[in-house]
Structure 1
Amino acid sequence: MFLSLDANDKRPIYQQIADGIKALIARGDLREGMVLPSVRQVSGDLGVNLNTIAVAYRQLQDEGFVTVRHGAGVTVSSRRGRQPGQEALLKSLRTALTEWILAGFADREIAAAVRQELSSARQKR
C-alpha cells in the first residue's frame, strides 16, 4: 500500500492517511476483501505514531470503508453499505471549492482541475 504524507498539508496526519486509503479504494488499487497492513506496519513504514494510524483506521471503519475484526485484521468493505448521503458529499465538495476560491483560483481553473481528477479517478477503476 503506497501512501505519502505532506508536511505542508493543513490536514492532520490521520486525515491524510484516511484520505489516501479512500483514494486507493476509489481507484481500485484496494478492492473489497483486501487486508490492509497492520497498524504497526503502517506506523513503521510512514514513521508515524501507532495511535495516529489507529485513528485513521477507526475513521475508515466509522465511514464504512473498512471492517475491523480482531485477529483477522482490517479489510476493505464492500461498496454496499457505504453510501454516504448526498448532503455529506456536497458538504465536502463545498469545503474543497471554498479552499480553491480562497486560494485565488479562477472558476475555469477549478473546473479544469475537477475534470482532470474525475477523469483520473474513473480511469483507475
Structure 2
Amino acid sequence: MQLSVDPHSATPPYEQIRAQIAEGARTGDLPTGLRLPTVRALAEDLGLAAGTVARAYKELEADGVVETHGRRGTLIAAAGDTAHRLAAAAATEYAERAHRLGLSHPDALAAAVTALGLAYPGTHPEV
C-alpha cells in the first residue's frame, strides 16, 4: 500500500490519508480483509504525528470503510453492506428531521437533490 501526503496541499494530511484509503477500498486496489499498517507504523512511514493517522482511521471506521478488531488490527471492510446501511440511516435521519421542520415532501426532496449536486459536482441526480 503506497500512500503519500503533500505537505503543501490545502487538504489536511488526515484527509489525504482518508481519501486515498477510501478510494483504494472503493476500486478494489485495497481488497476486503487487507490489514492496514498500525497507526504508529503508518505515521512513522509518512513522517506524521500518530494522532493524524488515528483521525484518518477513525473517520474511515465511521464511514464503514475499515473495521478495527483489537489485536487483529484495522482491516478493509466489505464495502457494499456497510456503505448502504450507513447511507440508509443518514437518509432516515434526514427524512425525520425534514418532517419535524415541517418541510413538504417536494421541498425536502429538492433540498436533498441540491445537497447531492453539491457533493457530486458535474452530475445530474435523477429524482
- TM-score band, normalised by shorter chain: 0.5 to 0.7
Using CA pairs below 8 Å that are at least 6 residues apart, which structure has the higher relative contact order? Answer: 1
Give 1 or 2 for the bigger CA radius of gyration.
2
Instruction: Provide the secondary structure at the position in 2 that maps to 1:52.
Output: helix
How many residues were matched structurally? 96
Map of 2:120 onto structure 1: 93
Pairing 1:81–2:82 present = yes
In the TM superposition, what is the alpha-carbon distance from 1:91 to its structure 2 partner? 4.0
Map of 1:52 onto structure 2: 52
Percent sequence identity over matched residues? 31
Instruction: Provide the secondary structure at the position in 1 that maps to 2:15.
Output: helix
* Structure 1: gaps spanning 5 or more residues: 98-110, 112-125
In the TM superposition, what is the alpha-carbon distance from 1:37 to its structure 2 partner? 0.8
What is the rounded CA distance, in whole Å, between the counterparts of 2:18 and 2:64 in structure 1? Answer: 12
- What does residue range 1-80 of structure 1 map to in structure 2 within 5 Å? 1-79=1-79, 80=81
Query: Counterpart amino acid of 1:93?
Result: Y
What is the rounded CA distance, in whole Å, between the counterparts of 1:75 and 1:90 in structure 2? Answer: 31
- Measured at CA, do residues 49 and 89 of structure 1 come closer, stay the same or move farther in structure 2, by a change above 3 Å? farther
What is the rounded CA distance, in whole Å, between the counterparts of 1:16 and 1:2 in structure 2? Answer: 12
RMSD: 2.2
In the TM superposition, what is the alpha-carbon distance from 1:52 to its structure 2 partner? 0.5
In the TM superposition, what is the alpha-carbon distance from 1:81 to its structure 2 partner? 1.5
**Runs of 4+ in structure 1 over 6 Å off:** none
What is the rounded CA distance, in whole Å, between the counterparts of 1:89 and 1:48 in structure 2? Answer: 33
